[in-house]
Chain A
Amino acid sequence: MIRTAIGLKHYVQAAFIAIVVIAAQGSAFGQAKLLIPMDIRQTDHLKAYGVAFWILQHNGTVDWLLNYRGGSFMLDFSDVAARECRIRGVLFEPASASDASSIYAEVQREDNNMDVVRLEKVPKIAVYVPPTFKPWDDAVTIALEYAEIPYTKVWDEEVLSGKLADYDWLHLHHEDFTGQYGKFYANYRYAQWYIDQQILYEKEAKRLGFKKVSEEKKAVTRGIKEFVGNGGFMFAMCSATDSYDIALAAENVDICDVMFDGDPPDPDSDIDIPPSDPPPIRDPNTDYFTLFEFSAKYDPVPSMLSQNHVSIVKGFMGQTTAFRKSLIKRTITILAQREGTEEVRYLHGNYGRGTFTWYGGHDPEDYQHAVGDPPTDLSLHKNSPGYRLILNNVLFPAAKKKQQKT
């Protein structure tokens, strides 16, 4: 993260350039606008992302006003857009041309930590899920379904055959890339879904020419890594985050026990052995994490990813809940952390030409989601700050790349 101090002269220059740029775009002035505020007044934050996406799908553009009223969206006013907002229950405010230009001016002022990011490309979204997946199994698909953002499902064959290149954004369903089936063996080995899942994965691995699921998943993680390296955006939650890392780290080691792949793990394998220190005792009433604030003008990417109407977000658990700060590489941007602890909940990094964002926990509105629990109904959590963080990631690839100011 680069934080650059700029003198007054630079502020003035930057403000002038910004005004010229907006004026040249033409859309900021002379055209009535529709502002979708994303502060606490918004009636449905999650559907608002869907409206922004819908505008992009209909060849429109959306200006994402970073840090302006919770990261609001501004678009050209039209009756169709206004009607769509109403139908989806999204609060909007019509803004006259002069109102809009005042807002843009405020956002562009150098002494305000705000900026405009233009969204103009419809990101092609893929979600890595097994064929047996149910849309309510996974927070990201729940969010995409609720916000009505279309996505394509891909699985191992698509990854291994290089089809990821057709997509901009890839979400990893809470997969276990180590081939240990989420280590659910202990509690669910006799459950039909567990048995079916293991058989399905084994058949698929054999069909694709692998002797073991763990070997196949390693190949898949390499494929995903290549996708990111080539400029893809990867978003992962829960066990998909560290199991992806573990699978890559265990490239030449068999870490799977006999119940997972039919033979014992390599004797020197200690990559996936949980730490001996007991996990911290958590209390849902005190488990909150804090979003860091970034310079919207100089760090637009982390700013986009952490847009929210609150800065403190309710925590939630998953098979992977948090990442230990002391073990995170310095090149990684920490987006959110539980105050006073080593627990990083949300992080972002670059690899090759692409990026990855990891978000700990399973479901932002279900503190401890267990197998068989009912799915979260997002119509009851329309303003969920935790879910907003997921949807920030979906819009992030739609942003037009701007030349860096520093």
Chain B
Amino acid sequence: MTKTQRKILNIESVHAARRVLCALFCVWSFGVPVFSQQVDLSTKLRLAQSFEQAGEWEKAATIYESLLESNADSFIILDGLRRSYTELKEYDKAMDLVRQQLRAKPLDENLLSWLGGLYELAGKTQTADSVWHVIFSKDRQNANLYRLVAAQLIDHREYERAIQIYLEGREATKNQLVFLEELASLYGALHQYELAASEYVKLVRSNPQQVTYVEARLSSYTGHEEARRAALAVVQKEVQQTPEQIPVLSLLAWLYMDGKEFDAALEQYRRIDHLTKANGHEIFQFGERAAQERAYAVAAKAFREVMDKNERQDILPLARLGYARALEELSAENDTLAQLSGRTPASSPGSTENTRVSEFQPTFQGAMALYDRLTRDYPNTDIAMQAFFRIGMIRFNRFFDLDGAAAAFDTVRRLPYNGILAVEATMSLGEIQTAHNDLIRAHREYGQLLTMAPEQYRDRVLYRIAELNYFEARFDTAVSSLQRISHNLANDLANDALQLLYFIQGNKEAGQEALAEFARADLLVRQRKYSEALALFESVTKRFAVTPLLDNAMMRTGDLHLLLNKPDSALMVFSRIINDLPTSILRDRAQMRIGEVYEGRLKDKKKAIEAYEAVLAHYPTSLFVEEARKRIRILRGDSI
């Protein structure tokens, strides 16, 4: 580069620099007011919006009005001012604003929907309707336009008219499957359950994946029986017309289950099972749900069907176990009913070999026969372990068959599949040994549990051991165990422990011999040797008549008379406690028992009421007064 060239370049760069500076000056001198205007606009806009948020609509409107003077076309300002006018109920001004905007965009659907909304607010519904039709005329096939208008009406809580708009839209679009959810939701909100269900059915039919969603939506109101019935009628009709639509059948079954109409639900699950070729799986699942709902009869029916099909080996053992369990529960219900009606419940296990098994005449023997077959068909499995455990429970609790129960529980704890069942079996074995009068072995069973059972069993085991010590007249040892249990007040056993503890402590002064005799009689009761226990308690009442144990022994005597079905003798004993033992703290209990005998055993309502009234009159501070009051009111038919 030559010197001249360099000079020229320098001159050019100086000129360029001057031009840049000039431009910058121009920008600065003209741009500052523009920039400051923009800052002012932005600040004012934010202020107006703040006033809006604070609900100060008049102030917001004033600022928006001033902003609009210099920014006539700003959408943000127009929109803010429209909102403010609307809140101030200055609907005419708001409408003028929207009309002004419409001049630029005459068929803008959003602007038109606002205008219609303003007419609605001003109470000009006919004009609003004509605006809606202008919107629809843009494109009658466009579903979103109907949604836009319906949303305006919903905002103004005009639900019925929103429904009309959707229905018009459906006609216009010639699509019966449009607006299903919207209409179902609106009908549901207006408690028009049948119409809501119709829409939901259409939804399920058009999109089977939605069945769970529909169930969830329906569940928001099927708690009202009237609503469930309405939905049921619609779904039933649909099923009649299209009997092979599985999602609709599922919906029908769900509605039946929701209303606890289990038999009807089972019918639907049968159809679903058949149509889906599930080979019993649907029916099995229904059986499990029904059993959870304690509907054992229908659960048994379902399990029986799965067993009869005999097609799904994977669920067959579970169905058989479910069936046996349902039968056991049905037998227990029958037993309770038998006891309430004064009949003697089943007392002997008999042979399970040729026992007739049916859910229509459920018996414990039948249930045991089923468990028995399970143990043979699935040996060394979890199924067998559960079956053995149930056999043990029935034999022990229902038939007091100690050897049979012991054999079953012993098998349970030798199987490795379920640790909790093994612990429960050992607990029961301890009780069986107690009933067998083999207290040493009972101690051994419980001792074993103390070392191996999970922590939550500890207090239960300790309580059983304390009871054994009491039966064996080792009262001090029993007391120390009971004290430990009673310190844990969160435990359900704390009350039982306290009761036995106070009984031992309160009657120690009766003397070791008297208390030991009493405990021995209690053991006989535990062993269900009621006659022997009665004789022993009667002997205690004679031999230790001047000890504090007397009233307790008499109470036990009365209760044993009841167990031996001698209510008259029981009444005599209870009356003697009341009349002959004026300082006894059990007189209120005895009086209460008299009422219970008249009410429950002798069915003499009048005498029962008299007896309960005597509790109230003579023992007003007794713990039994609340119950006595309740019994009187039930017996005299008060609505309580």
Contact = CB atoms under 8 A, between A and B. Distances in A.
B617 A199 contact: no
Q: Output the residue of A83, A87, A262, A266 with the most chain B CB within 10 A.
A: A87
A87 B632 contact: yes
B157 A86 contact: no
A263 interface: yes
A374 interface: no
A59 interface: no
B155 A258 contact: yes
Contact of A199 (B86, B88, B155, B189): B189
Contacts of B190: 199, 203
A213 B294 CA distance: 45
A261 B157 contact: yes
B155 A262 contact: yes
Contacts of A266: 89
Interface in A206-265: 258, 261-264
B156 interface: yes
Given A86-B613, A261-B157, A267 B87 contact: yes
Interface string A270-293: 000000000000000000000000
Interface residues of B, number: 26
A400 to B, nearest CB: 29
Given A264-B87, A267-B89, A87 B629 contact: yes
A263 to B, nearest CB: 5
B5 interface: no
Nearest to A199: B189
Contacts of B629: 86-89
B58 interface: yes
A352 to B, nearest CB: 35
Contact of B88 (A91, A202, A267): A267
B613 A262 contact: no
A202 B626 CA distance: 45
Nearest to B633: A87
Contacts of A89: 625-626, 629
A192 interface: yes
A86 B629 CA distance: 8
A195 interface: yes
Chain A contact residues (Cβ within 8 angstroms of B): what range? 20 to 34
Contacts of B88: 264, 267
Contacts of B156: 258, 262-263
B616 A87 contact: yes
Contacts of B155: 258, 262
Contacts of B221: 192
B136 interface: no
A325 B299 CA distance: 66
A86 B633 contact: no
A258 B154 CA distance: 11
A195 B189 contact: yes
Contacts of A267: 57-58, 87-89
Interface string B608-632: 0000010011001000011001001
B158 interface: yes
A266 B89 CA distance: 7
A202 B159 CA distance: 11
Interface string B87-110: 111000000000000000000000
Contact of B617 (A86, A202, A264): A86
B157 A262 contact: yes
Interface in B52-108: 57-58, 86-89
A196 B227 CA distance: 13
Contacts of A192: 220-221
A264 B158 contact: no
B483 to A, nearest CB: 30
A86 B57 contact: no
A87 B612 CA distance: 9
B89 A264 contact: yes
A262 B158 contact: yes
Interface in B124-160: 155-159
Contacts of B616: 86-87
B622 to A, nearest CB: 12
B95 to A, nearest CB: 14
Contacts of A196: 191
Interface in B216-257: 220-221
A263 B220 CA distance: 28
Given A88-B629, A262-B155, A262-B158, A83 B87 contact: no
Interface in B148-196: 155-159, 189-191
Contacts of A203: 190
Contacts of B87: 264, 267
Nearest to A273: B55
B318 interface: no
A305 to B, nearest CB: 29
Contacts of A263: 89, 121, 156
Contacts of A264: 86-89
Contacts of B617: 86
A203 B160 CA distance: 11
A110 B313 CA distance: 94
Interface string A47-76: 000000000000000000000000000000
A199 B158 CA distance: 11
Q: Output the residue of B121, B157, B191 with the most chain A CB within 10 A.
A: B157
A186 to B, nearest CB: 14
Nearest to A83: B613
A204 to B, nearest CB: 12
A262 B625 CA distance: 56
Q: Output the residue of A199, A202, A261, A266 with the most chain B CB within 10 A.
A: A199
Interface string A16-45: 000000000000000000000000000100
A87 B633 CA distance: 8
Contacts of A195: 189
B623 to A, nearest CB: 13
Contacts of B633: 87
A109 B157 CA distance: 65
Contacts of A258: 155-156
Interface in A382-396: none
A214 B171 CA distance: 36
Nearest to B191: A199
A83 B190 CA distance: 51
B83 to A, nearest CB: 10
B182 to A, nearest CB: 15
A266 B58 CA distance: 12
A203 B626 CA distance: 45
Nearest to B190: A199
A83 B86 CA distance: 68
A159 B633 CA distance: 35
Contacts of A91: 620
Contacts of A88: 629
Interface in A185-199: 192, 195-196, 199
Contacts of B626: 89
Nearest to A192: B220
Contacts of A43: 620
Interface string B589-617: 00000000000000000000000010011
Contacts of B86: 264
A43 B629 CA distance: 14
29 contacts: A83-B613, A86-B613, A86-B616, A86-B617, A86-B620, A87-B613, A87-B616, A87-B629, A87-B633, A88-B629, A89-B625, A89-B626, A91-B620, A192-B220, A192-B221, A199-B189, A199-B190, A199-B191, A258-B155, A258-B156, A261-B157, A262-B121, A262-B156, A263-B89, A263-B156, A264-B87, A264-B88, A266-B89, A267-B89
Given A43-B620, A203-B190, A262-B155, 6 more contacts: A86-B613, A196-B191, A199-B159, A199-B189, A263-B121, A264-B88
Nearest 9 pairs of A and B residues by beta carbon? A262-B156, A86-B616, A262-B157, A267-B88, A264-B87, A263-B121, A87-B632, A87-B629, A192-B220
Interface of A: 43, 83, 86-89, 91, 192, 195-196, 199, 202-203, 258, 261-264, 266-267
